[in-house]
Each structure stands twice: as C-alpha cells, then as structure tokens.
Chain A
C-alpha cells in the first residue's frame, strides 16, 4: 500500500523529467544566491567584530556558506540525472546511484532547514554580545595610545556617524565614563583637579559627548559640552532640545540592523528549502516511476510512482530490521540448520526480467 501513489504515462514521465531538469538549474542559481548571501553576512559581521564581545557567530555563518555551495553541486548532479531519465537506457546507468542520491539530498535539505532556523535564534546572543562589546569600546575610547586599543576611538566615531546613534543606550552613557585621556588634561588647573576628586574612582567625568554624536539635521551649531547646563548656552533648553544630538542608542541601532540582516537571510533560506524539497519529491516520483517501468518491461507503458512503497510504519519496521540484521551478520541462522540457501527466492527481482521474457518468447 504505497504512500501517495500517482499514475504516469510515458508522456507525463518525459515532461516530469524535463521540468525537473529545468528546476534543478534554477536551484543551482538559488544555491549561488544563498552562498553569496552567506558570504555577505560574514563580511558584515567581520566589519564590526570589535563591537561584538566574545560570542562566536562563525558556525552559523559557515553553515550557510557551506549549504549554499553543496546545494549547487547536488542540483548540478540532479539536473544531469533528470536529463538522462527520459531515455530508459541512460537511466540504467544511474539506477544504483539514484536512491542514495535522494537519501543524501533529503538529509542535506534537513541541514538547510536547521541553518535557516538558526538564523532566527541568534537574536538573544546578539543583543548580549553587542551590549558587552559596546560597553568595552566606550570604556577604551580614550586609550588611543595603548596598542590593540588605539583604533577603538576611530571605530566608535565612525559607528556613531554612520548609524546615527550616540552611546550604548543613549547619550547619557558618555556622562559615566571618562572619554578624554589624561594626556590631554591640564592637571595644574583647579577645575580639573576638582572634577577628579569629585568621584570615588578618580575619573574625569563631564556632561559632554564626543563630536560624532552631533546630529547633522540640527539647525544650530552642535552643542557637545555642558549639555545639561542651560545657562551655558544662549537660547538653549536641554529638556526640549531634540535635534542637537542623535537620540537613538548604538545598541538598539546595531541590534536592529543585524536582526534585519539575519531574518532576511533566514527567510531566503526557508524559501530555498521549500523549493529544494519540492524538487526532491519530483525526483523521487520520477525514480519510482522509471523503476516500475523497468519492472514491467515495456518502456512505453504507464507506470506508478510513489513516495514510499509501503506505508510509513511498515517502511520504518523494514529499515529497522535491516539495521538489526546488520549486527547479526556473523551469526549462523539455526532455524534453517545453517544452510543459507533455504527459503530464498529463485530469481533476482530485477535484471533477469528481460532475459526471462526474451527466453520465454523464444520457447
């Protein structure tokens, strides 16, 4: 009792083979798209790797790239197989290879699904990683003379300019860290010494932000020092002024950007997975139809195609038995007195069929 049995005439088989050939080539293109998308995302992540603390996103990205590449190869092979399926003689060449090919492809599409779903699961880790990374970069903003950290100022400034954001959660994060290096502080001045003494850790804290926080849409020249002090600037109210600096925090800006990127990659991966699955179903139907044609002996006749020969439960049981018997290969079967030739069918199922028919006609 086969699963989803469908009858195929010769014409329908040919059409199916041609369509699958075309779809396989389209699938090669989508494989290339997935590959290049994976590559693009990898480059985007590596551009901002200083801002991401510790977490390793490489496995997911490498999986995407590998999946795209393997999809191309598998679909090239599939295209060749389908091209040959129209002619029964050429099909005989591929007969032994097709079933392993289908099984491998099935597991491979499983990998693709896993990869696509993993893209959606990255958000939590991404948020934590970015929060930590940004905090560290802001802390080391002033250390332009320490090797290994000297480019963090440049990175942070370009980030704030490019993503139009300021600080980690908002611009007030800059008030809690010392972002001006001691090299540029005049320790002989009273004001500087007072500020240093005014907090426990001896940090020079200001209510000011770096120039990269300045909003280019502001109608007035940027106010970056003494931000909370209304009397320091003419016609300025800190609470109502919202065009002066970027309002958004860089954490939120980066999380939004990378989440959007990963979600679109994941959606593309899912669509391609569905497409591959449908191609695989078509190839399975073609394989079973072609094998039944060979079994019947007449290449022009109608044949059945199916997904599984027996129902799902029976197929599972059969496969389980095969696996169980693999373990018993060295044991002798006592039921038949150790004779391996008892209770075996006298002819092979395929292969000899044409010969038998031919010999039968001769007689």
Chain B
C-alpha cells in the first residue's frame, strides 16, 4: 500500500534537481543564425506552387543554407554545409520556378533540398571546385517532367560542365572543357546552354569565349570569342552574366567605368553604352539586376554606385533580333540604395530601398507603382548608422498597381531587416554568426562612483567639497526620475514580472564580440534580443578575415588585439566609442605588475622577464621534431578559489596545489598519432606533470581546459586489440600532498617562489569513456569561487553544450570498490568507466546550437551564478547555478503570500495585544 505512494513521492522529488521548468526558456537565450546572406544566393521562393506563401532562402557567407519565414523571421530549416567557415569560397543557391526544390553548390558539392522542409533530395560530388551552378529551365518537353535539371560547371585540372538529373542528381551528360581556358560561368536560354570561358591572351588580357552546347546531348554546337582584345585586364570588371532569362546577356565595363558593353549571348554583336555619371563622381561599382526566369520579360537594370550616390538605368532586350535599348533612368539619390528584382508572371519589377523610402517600378515604364516611407525611428537604417547593402524583394500586384512589397535588406551593421511596405517587421543579428572572439566587459557603474570618491580623497579640501556638492546636485536631478519609476518598480518586484532595469545581480553584463568582417558588436547578457551597438572597427580588404581577440581591460572598457595594428585598441563597452590608451585606468582587479611573460611563437614556448635588459629570456620549452602545438591554456587570470584545501569526510584537509602561473600545453606528433599533455609552471618553465597518449585519432577534436588546481582534456582513441575506438575524457587534479592535513614540503609557508621552491605537485588522474567527442571546453566562473564548478563541454556532433558537475569527474572517485563512510560523507561515489551525459546537464535543452567555436564564462554579482555565452555561428547564453540558487529566491516564491502573512500577523498582534494586556492586569488584581 505504502510503496506506490513512496514511488510517487520519489517521482515528484526528482525533477527538483534539474533547472526549474519555468526558468528553462527565460534565463537562457539562443539566436539560431544563418550568417550574412549574400546577394546572389538570397531570394524569395514559393515552396508550394499552389500556395502564395513564400519563404526567404539564403546560403550565407558562413556556409549555412536556410529558409526564413518572412512573417516573423523564424528559421524554418537550416543546414551547416561547411564547418571550415571559409567565406571566400564561392557558393551558389538556385531554385527552379514553381518547384519544391532548392539546389546549393559549395566547394565541390551540389545538394538539392526540399524547399518546404529542408530534407536532402540528392547529393552530387562535382569533379572539382564549383564555378557556377544553374537550373535548366527547359521547355522543350524532352527534359524530365517534374523536377528541373541542374547545370554545374567545375574548375580544376579537368574543367567540365555537367547536366544533373533534377530528380536523382545523376549525371546526364558531361562536357569536358579541353581548350585550357578558365571556366567562368554557365548560362542557359530556352534552347541552348552556354559555357562562358575566359581566355588569357599573351599580353595578360582576358578574352571572353562563349561555347554553345546542345542541352540534350551536351555536344558543342558553336564557339565564338567576343572581340575584347585588350579592354578586359581582369575578370573583375565583368559585371554580370545573366543566366536563365529569356535572353541571357553578358555585360562588362572598362576598368575606368567609362563604357558599358553588353552582348546578348548567342549573338555576336556587342552594344556599347557610355556610362552617364549625371554630373557626379564616376561609379565605383556597377551591378546588374535581371530576372531569373525564362518566362519573364527580357528587361534588366544596371545599378551604378559612386562614393556618395546611387543611380540606375533600365534596358530592354528584343529577344527576336537581340537588339538592346535603354528604356529609362532611375534618378540619382544621395546615400546608399539597394536594388532588387522581383517577377510576377511575365512582369518584372524593380524595388529600390534607400535610407528613407522604398520605391517599386515596373520594368516597362518609369512610373512609380508604390512608394512607402521607412517609418520606424528605432531601426538602425533610419537613424543613419547603417546603410542598405543588398536586398531581395517580393511584390504583390493587384491589377495595375503594386499593393505590397516585402524586402529582406542586409544592413551594413550586419542586421538582416525585413521591410513590409517600409515598416520594419523583424531584424536578425546575422553579424553575430561571424564572431571570432568575445568577452564580457566588467560593469562600469560602480567603478564610476569609486573613481569620483577617489578624486575627492586626493584633491584639496575646498575642491573636494565643491566636487562633492556638484555630485550631489547631479544626484538630486536624477531623483524625480527615480521617484516616478518607484511605483512601477515596486509593482514589478511585488508581482515578479519583468526586470526593473537595474542590474543588482550582475546579470546584465555587456558582451563585446569581434566578427570576422571587422565589426565590433555588443549585446546585453540579460536582454539579448537587441544589439546594443555595432561598429566597423577596422577596414578590411575583400576576402580578408579579421583575426582579433577581445579582452576586458578595465571596468566598462574592452581591449582589442589583432594582427593589423601592433598596439591594442580600446573601446567603451556601453557606447562602442574608441578611446585612447591613456584614458584607460588600470584595472585594480587584475594584477598588472607582470614580472614574467610567456609567449608562444613558431612552435617555441618561452618565458621572458622585462626587468633585465639584454638576455631577458627566462626559460624555453622548444618542441621535439615533428611535434606541433595543439593548444595552450593558461589558468584564467581571474580565477578566485574560496578554499585552499578539500575537506575530507573525517574533517581533515587535503591541500590543493594552487599556483596562479599554470598552463596546460597539448601537443601532437605528426604521423605518430600521439598526444602529449604538459602542465607547466609559466614562471620557471618547469614541467609539473606530463603524459603521453599513443594511438590517438588526431583528426577528431581535442579539447583542453585548466582551472583552479585541476585540468581536463578529451580526445578520441583509435581502436586497439583490447578496446574499440572511443572518445575519452581525462581529468587531473594537482595536490600539494596526498596525505591529509599535510602540505608536504611547503609546511606552513604562505608565500612560495616558483623559482626557489622545488615542490612538485602530486597529480591524480582519471579517465572516462564519453559518448561523443568534445570540441571545446570551458569552466564556469563565480565571484568568490565558493560555488562548485562545472566543466562546460561543446558537443559538435549533437549541436549541444553540457555542463558536467565537477563532483562527477573528481579524480578521487574510488576505483573497483565501494566508497568508504568518509568518502561518502565527502560526496565521492564509485568510479564508473563510462561517463554518460545526463539529460539534465544539457544547457541547451532541446534547441540545436550549430557551429559553436568557443564558450566564455563570467561571474555575476551573485555568488551562485555564472554567466555563460557561446559563439561561433549560433549565439547561446544562459545563467548557470552549479550549486543551485542558494542566494536567490526562485520564481515560485510568492511575495504576495509572504506579505499577506506578515500583514495578518501584524493585525492579529494589534488586535490581541490589548486583550492580553487586560488579561494580565486582571490576573494581578484578582485573587482566587
């Protein structure tokens, strides 16, 4: 009878150990990002031809293909195509008209996805890196009914054009390009396939060579060279090769942007148009926007961009005789504008997005069909901090007029914005997908007051008094605002709804991220939905990747180190303003008097001291032949430890080896599948612990971390005769001695010199099998280090992050025996060879966190809490309480009930007090 009740009680108790269910989606946040969309691979497309609903498809610079719902900006589906994150690699994304398929090309891989749900239909490995990819819009009835075929052009040793079956991805025919010309693009009209090749002349100029292919057999039917003997110095001035329109064109300019030369592919005539600068500066960029459908009118728009203005010209092509004529001009507008093409049946519309307006015109006449104001003041587009980079648009047409237009605009701030008739619907902070480094900035408010008080203490009494009075006047001016906010704050606190804006718990730290395209972006860890500021920190040449590292320099200030400038640059974390180094007050929390520096350079690790001139190299740790450094992890600078020892079950103490100058070095031997681990003293260069693992899969990720007096690393071991291939996690802990209440050689020494002392720590290690490989490790940080720690492990294969409690991976877990009473008291339990990741350890719950490269942690003001921020492609952040909320009330705490109880007790006291008093007086005066 009692047993089921007991079981029910146990079942009720168990979930209390995990995150509270009501906190799972409130304390953590996740941006499922795609990366910066490219103009050529971003478009609106209807996955279901029968429905009018369309999705935005993109293949981003970060190599993520995805579909976004234009209604709310939510990701419908996405796939990470390459994890190398090489933005310079050409990538292609095409969708067939009225088809439930999108075809992507990246590297040498062609993949067709179902447009509605993102399932992979087929995959094809091209012979070499892809140069171009097109969908063949053939109407001749001999093509496969249903799915449309794909044309792909690949470069490399044996360049070729292949036609792939739209349903299976099988190669229908292959045309090998044997002329030695460089393949450039592939294009198709309704009857022919054109391979555009570039021929290098002896003088170093480029000639455009067009090879006409039969779409059914792939045989060459014609070949001609466009007469451009010495006008094309490089391929960079080829503006566009219009693919798949009713009459594909090829357009190029001279390097000075004086004339635009256009050729209708298949016809030999070239038409020249002088570029009209409209009395302004010459253009810096010329782009061509043409519809992608064979059924559309053969109209196109040429977009000219000068330093300060944009203008455009619209041209019409006569399909029958291949004649091109200019139809009309679109006026010059100062400031950046972006153009996009959309189609509706045969009609073609051009949409122009500027800072203030959205215009739509038809390709046939210059009359404006729709004009809307960009009407939000909150958008970074309207306040002038960002400009449109490119856009993709979709128009809804009612009769003759355009009733609505939706434009997905990429802003120069890296936000992806959807404008619906000019009003912003949503923004996605896609710039964060390119984060290369991030850091928590120390909160600045408290330090401002400290600085002011210090100023008063150091100046003479009179000026200190004046300073204090002005400070108080400044404070009084804030009083009305404070008083006005007080009732609301009280109500919020009382009902537990929302935050009051103050950061008493330190949850609202600013995170500054450096992105690969040279931007600095700041987000608030407490309110992550909006980007605080975003600014271009450096100007990069195209294709260059910013290799930057962000660090917290002082309260409210971050320092950025990169390979461009030799000196670090400083930025205000709350505004993004660059500040000079002299304005940075040195941070009291971080030790600045560094005696010994250690550097990793050319595979040599060495320590230097700045105190002596001349031979200032202190120690050297050069690698053996064939040895390469995998990672170097120093102990975090700010790594507070509350207890210098471990309290055992019998109240004795085991002393930790706490050395602030520790570093963990992991090296591998090429060709020997060997992994070596060294724990170094970074002052003396002495090796405190080292080991070597044989038979390691070096292609699998190897992660390592170091904190307090323990380290952890993981690797994948190859199979041996006794063990299968598997992932392993090693945890080691350094102690001063392994005898309790004994510090070994150190005795009662409070200060120890790394140079003079000869103490060697004793290291305990334990190894576990883990279910999957760990790509990156990190450790939680709290303010005082009282809270127990968690080892944060990024699981790249399951797109997750787990927080492994420190107690579970304690190297002192008894092996092959049950723990003794004392060990049980200490919380140790029996060692198991397999460490399974408990579902409660998953910080991401059921979300998928793609492409995480690193996890950073920072203490909050509350001791129980550590802030966690993961970046790479997706951005994920949460608050962790490794020892649970011991200093904070949970959301389930009923403030109303508590106050009501207090009030009721107060009332009862007031009511009962006279009665009791009367009774006591009566007792004294009445005699039995």
**Is the A/B pair a real complex?**
no
Partner-A contacts on B (CB < 8 A): none
List the interface of chain A (C-beta within 8 A of B): none
